[in-house]
Amino acid sequence: MLDFTILTNNWDMYVEGFKNTLLTSLLALIGSFLFGTLLAVFRIAPIKSLNWIGTIYVEFFRNIPLLIIAFTLYAGFPTLGIELDGFQAGTIALIIYTSAFISEAVRAGILSVHKGQTEAARSSGLTYIETMRYVVLPQAIKIVIPPLGNQFINLVKNSSILSVIAAGELMYQADLISARTYVVFDVYIIVALFYLVITLPLSYGVNYLEKRLAKSN
Amino acid sequence: MNFTGAFTPDHLKFLLEGFLVTLQVASIAIVFSFIIAAVIGIIRYAKIPVLAQILGVLVELIRNLPLLLIIFFIHFALPEVGIKFSIIMSAIIALTIFESAMLSEVIRSGLTSIHKGQIEAGRSSGLSYIQTLWHIVLPQALRRMVPPIVSQFISLLKDTSLAVVISLPELMHNANVINNQPGGDKFVMPIFILVALMYFIVNYTLSIIARRLELKTT
C-alpha cells in the first residue's frame, strides 16, 4: 500500500513543484501561442523570404528533441556569456519547441477559413495585416482551440524534462524528496498523481471540444 | 567555441556510436509498441467487454503521464519491489509502454475510419466477425495508419534522448560525456549544434517519407 506520510511530510515540496510545473507550462503556452501564430502568419504571408524563415524554423525544431534545446540554453549559452537559470532556460526551451507545433495548428486553422473571406476583406480596402487581425484569425481560433489544449497537455508532460536542468518543478522536487527519504516507489507514484490531476481533466476537456467541433461541421 | 577541437575523429565516432544506440533502442521499441498497440487497438475497437474498459483506463493514464517519469519509475522505483532491469532494458520497456499507449490510439482511429458498411457487407457475405476484421477492415486500415506510425517513430527517436537520465549511452548522453571532460566547455555549443543536426537529418527524412505516403493514401 502507498505510504501517504510521504505526501503529508513533503507536502510543501510537492506543492512547490506543482506550482512551478503549472507556471512554466502556462508561460510557455502563452509564449508559444504568440510566437507560433507569428510563425504561422509568416508561412502563409505573400512574401517568399518570410515563408522560408517560417518553414525552416518549424521543420527544424519539430524534428529535434526538446532536451537538446534545453541543454543548449542551460549548458551551452553560458559558454557564450549568456547565463540562464534552470527555470528560464527550461521555459524558453519549451517555447522554442512548442511554437513549431502550435504554428502548424494555427496555420491549419487559418487555411480552413474560406479564401473568399480574405478576398472580400481585401477588396473592402483592409490591408493584409488588418484582414488577418480582424477577419481571418478570429474565425480560425475556433479550430485552433482543441489542438492548443493538446499542446498544453504536452507542455505539462514535457515540463518534466526541466528536472534535468534543475528547474524546481514536480519531477525535480520528486528527485529531491526521494534523495532525502530514500524512498523511490511511493514518491514517484504520488508525483504521477499530481501530473494526472492536471492532465486528465484537460484531456477530457479537449475530447469534449473536439466532439462538439466535429458535430458543428 | 572551438569547432576544430570539438569535431575530432574520436568525438565524431563516439557521437555516431551514441546515435546507433538511439536508433537501435527506438527501432526495438517501435516494433514491440506496434504489436502491443495492435492488440490493444483491436480489443478496444471490437469493444470486448471488461478488457476493453480496463485497457482504456490504462491507455488514458499512460498517455497523460510524462515519459520521463515512466523511464525513471521503471529503472529506479521497480527495484524497490524486487523488479530490476539493465539500463537498456529499462529504456526499451519504458519507451514501449509509453509508445504502445500512443500508437494504440492511432490504430484504433485507423480502424474506426473504415466505413461501417464494409463490416456489414463482409458479415452479410457470410464472413465471421474475426474474418471480416482480418480480411476486410485491417488491410484497409493498415494502409491509412502507415503515415501516423512513421510520425510516431519520429517522436520515439526524439524521446529516446530522455533515457539520458538513466545514463543510457545514446546520442545525448555521449554528447554530455564529451562536454563534461576537462576543458570540454569550449566544445559545448559545436557539439550540441552537431547533435541537433544529426537528429534533424534523420527525422526530417522520415517526415518527408511520411508525407509522401500520406499523399499516396489519400
Q: What is the pLDDT of residues B205-216, one digit of tens each?
A: 999 998 888 887
pLDDT tier, B218 (very low <50, low <70, confident <90, very high otherwise): low
Backbone region of residue B183 per phi and psi (left: phi > 0; alpha: psi in -120 to 50; beta: other values): left
Q: What is the dihedral of CA B171, B75, A87, A12, to 10 degrees?
A: 180
- What pLDDT is stored for residue B3 in this prediction? 79
pLDDT tier, A217 (very low <50, low <70, confident <90, very high otherwise): low
> Looking at this predicted complex, what is its ipTM?
0.91
Please give the grid coordinates belonging to residue A176.
529531491
Which of B65, B165, B207 shows the shortest C-beta gap to A157? B65
- CB-CB under 8 Å, A164 with B164: yes
pLDDT tier, B184 (very low <50, low <70, confident <90, very high otherwise): confident
Q: Chain B: residue nearest A59 by CA?
A: B204
- What pLDDT is stored for residue B153 in this prediction? 94
Please give the grid coordinates belonging to residue B138.
485491417
Which of A1, A61, A67, A185 to mutate against chain B (most B CBs within 10 Å)?
A: A67
- What pLDDT is stored for residue A140 in this prediction? 86
Which of B1, B65, B80, B208 to mutate against chain A (most A CBs within 10 Å)?
A: B65
3.40.50.1820, 1.10.3720.10, 1.20.1250.20, 2.50.20.10: CATH of A17-168: 1.10.3720.10
Average pLDDT over residues B153-177: 95
- What pLDDT is stored for residue A53 in this prediction? 96
- Provide, as residue numbers in chain A, all residues whose Cβ is less than 8 Å from the Cβ of B76: 178, 184, 188
- What pLDDT is stored for residue A149 in this prediction? 93
pLDDT tier, B31 (very low <50, low <70, confident <90, very high otherwise): very high
Angle, alpha carbons B84-A65-B165 (nearest 5°): 30
Q: Which of residues 52-111 of B touch A (CB under 8 A)?
A: 60-61, 63-69, 72-73, 76-81
Phi, psi of A81 (to 5 degrees): 90, 10
- What pLDDT is stored for residue B217 in this prediction? 67
| All structural domains of chain A with their residue ranges | 17-168
Does domain B3-217 fall under CATH 1.10.357.140? My reply is no
Least confident range from B39-43, B64-68, B184-188: namely B184-188
CB pairs under 8 A between A and B: 114
Which of B77, B172, B204 shows the shortest C-beta gap to A67? B172
